Amino acid sequence: MRAQFDMALDAMHATFAAVPALREFSPLPAGSRFVERLPKAVPVVPQFERCTLTPVPEADALFRAARALAPHVQWYQGYTEEKAGRDFARNAGYFELLGVDGHFNAPGLSAFLLYLGPNLHYRRHWHEAEELYYIIAGEAYFQVDGEETPSLLRPGDSRFHASFQPHQTMTGPQGILCLVLWRGAGLNGPLEMETAPGA
């Protein structure tokens, strides 16, 4: 199993080497340390394992590594079902491959693999850490407060969110897998989400 984690880390290094936007956001910390963590599942994992997404070539190895690791990592959703709603709880999940709480411990940068199922609205949310989304596979509309129209992001596209800048995402008919990077203050800080209509 450790070998599959190492393959995933190698794959992330390869994606960083191939994608300037990732390196410009932050270099990958050298010398990260593997931490034994018990697997933790969320409901979306089987959906991710059987999804038919096609990854961008620069992240093909990372996509395959993320799928191979899916039964072995600690998945999270970031919110309670009461807060985020049933649809989100069934169709969203992420794991921290590298970072302060990651399977590889490293300071200064956190790297998450985030899967969102088809036609899912990830409502307005915000957090202290600065963020870069990189679309590995699938398509989704992204919108920050103040933008009149959302932007469609495709595999290979990236998107920056400033500290505490509210942002939201609506996935397309195939869902998405993203590499999400956090830097700066608040690396293990909370996620805040607006209350669901009617909640």
Least CB distance to Fe ion at residue 30 (A): 26
CB 108 within 8 A of CB 137: no
- The tokens describing 80, both together, are 């309670």
User: Of 45, 16, 2, which is closest to residue 179 (Cα–Cα)?
Assistant: 16
CB 15 within 8 A of CB 179: yes
Among residues 66 and 193, whose Cβ is nearest to Fe ion?
193
Closest approach of Fe ion to the CB of residue 76, in Å: 13
Query: 79 vs 104, which CB is nearer to Fe ion?
Result: 79
For Fe ion, give the closer residue by CB, 6 or 164: 164
Of 5 and 142, CB closest to Fe ion: 142
- Binding interface with Fe ion (CB under 5 A): 131
| Rounded Cα–Cα distance for residues 130 and 144 (Å) | 13
Q: How far is the CB of 4 from Fe ion (least distance, A)?
A: 27
Helix then strand count (H, E) for the chain reads 6, 10
29's tokens: 């910390």
- Closest of 68, 151, 62 to residue 113, by C-alpha: 62
CB of 116 to Fe ion, least distance (A): 12
| Phi/psi at 145 (5° precision) | -55, 135
Q: How far is the CB of 164 from Fe ion (least distance, A)?
A: 10
Residue 90 or residue 124: which is nearer to Fe ion going by CB?
124
| Closest residue to bound Fe ion by CB | 131
User: What is the SS3 assignment for 75-100?
Assistant: CECCCCHHHHCHHHHHHEEEEEEEEC
